[in-house]
Amino acid sequence: MTLPSSAIAIRGLCKSYGKAEVLHDIDLEIARGATTCLIGPSGSGKSTLLRCIAFLEEATRGTILINGQPLGFEEQPDGKRVRVPAHQIRRVRSGIGMVFQQFNLWPHMTALGNVTEALVTVNGLSRAEAEARGMAQLRRVGLEARARHYPSELSGGQQQRVAIARALALEPKILLFDEPTASLDPELTGEVLNVMRDLGADGMTMVVVTHEIGFAATVGRRIVFLDHGRVLLNGTPGELFAAPRHPRLTQFLETYLDRGAAMLLKPA
């Protein structure tokens, strides 16, 4: 079986909370082995879209294919949308890792415990084997020496790197990040962005919701600009950020001058 060219294929995705529709008919292909950055004004639906891909939210309409496999819902030939069996949902989901703005480490487990939890509890590995794998992931994010520390004993940047190691432990094909540096002090964002840069260079498929415009412009292979629950722009950084620029994007960038947008806006 040859893999479809896109890691994630989103077709006609709509999401409503009660009567309010917050995502309108999203069609989006996420390229394999590349970093896609999702940017847009607050409330434009970035988190909601990412959470739909992580299956933390169930879309109201439309389908998502992960490497060609339906996530949660499947469109039948007659156009009817049906839920796929639970075990299949879990299998498809296991190929996706998620990193949150608030880290969400489990406070009663060490860094290594957080990373190995799923390996032991879900995959049934022995503790020794899980710890060997867990240490390898912690090494990857530069935190081998902190393995036995509890989250409360780690800085925000270190906690987020542990969270990345935790997401990597199950060896997912796709990593999702929702504003991974937004709750970090400015001097700590660099260490997290560097880890993400390395992952991108290793060929990981990543979807990153971020306000770090500088990061998006330099690491993002594709930029998706969301506005009012729609994909307004989708292209390479060169295409999107170079003049002539879409007026909504310019307006958006002007509010992020301190996050690296200044260099994109300055006249050449």
Partner 1 sequence: MSFDVSVILGALPAILSGLQITLGIWLASTAMGAVLGFVVAALRHFGPQPLALALRLAVEVLRGTPFLVQIFLLYFGGPFIGLSLDPVPAGLLGLSLYAAAYFSEIVRAGFAAVPRGHVEAAQCVGLSQAQIVRRILVPEMTMLVLPQAVNMAVILLKETAVLSIIAVPEATATISAIGSQQYAFVEALFLLAVIYWGLVEACGRAGQALECRLSKFRFA
Ligand X SMILES: Nc1ncnc2c1ncn2[C@@H]1O[C@H](COP(=O)(O)OP(=O)(O)OP(=O)(O)O)[C@@H](O)[C@H]1O
Contact status: 121 vs partner 1 (CB under 8 A): yes
Q: Which 3 state secondary structure label does DSSP give 20?
A: strand
Element (H, E) at 24: strand 20-31
Question: Tokens standing for 35?
Answer: 């970093």
- Residue from 35, 36, 47, 110 that binds Mg ion (CB under 5 A)? 47
How many residues in total does the chain contain? 268
Contact status: 85 vs partner 1 (CB under 8 A): no
39 close to 21: Cβ distance less than 8 angstroms:
no
User: What b/e readout covers 108-127, taking b as 16+ CB neighbours within 10 angstroms?
Assistant: eebbbbbbbbbbbeeeebee
With CB under 5 to 8 Å by kind, the binding choice for 196 among ligand X, partner 1, Mg ion, none is none
Contact status: 205 vs partner 1 (CB under 8 A): no
Least distance CB 219 / partner 1 (angstroms): 23
Sign of the torsion angle spanned by Cα atoms 41, 45, 48, 54: negative
Binding mask 144-183 for partner 1 (x = CB under 8 A): ------xxxxx----x---x--xx-xx-------------
**Binding window for partner 1 (CB under 8 A); candidates: 23-31, 66-74, 105-113, 133-141:** 105-113
Contact status: 90 vs partner 1 (CB under 8 A): yes
Distance, in Å, from the CA atom of 144 to the CA atom of 201, rounded to the nearest integer, reads 21
Distance, in Å, from the CA atom of 201 to the CA atom of 245, rounded to the nearest integer, reads 28
With CB under 5 to 8 Å by kind, the binding choice for 205 among ligand X, Mg ion, partner 1, none is none
Distance, in Å, from the CA atom of 62 to the CA atom of 15, rounded to the nearest integer, reads 9
**Nearer Cβ to partner 1, position 111 or 216?**
111
231 close to 40: Cβ distance less than 8 angstroms:
no
Q: Using CB under 6 A as the criterion, which residues of the chain lie in contact with ligand X when the complex forms?
A: 17, 22, 40, 42-48
**Binding window for partner 1 (CB under 8 A); candidates: 64-72, 91-99, 179-187, 237-245:** 91-99
Residues that bind Mg ion (CB under 5 A): 47
Residues that bind partner 1 (CB under 8 A): 54, 56, 90, 93-94, 96-98, 100, 102-108, 117-118, 121-122, 150-154, 159, 163, 166-167, 169-170
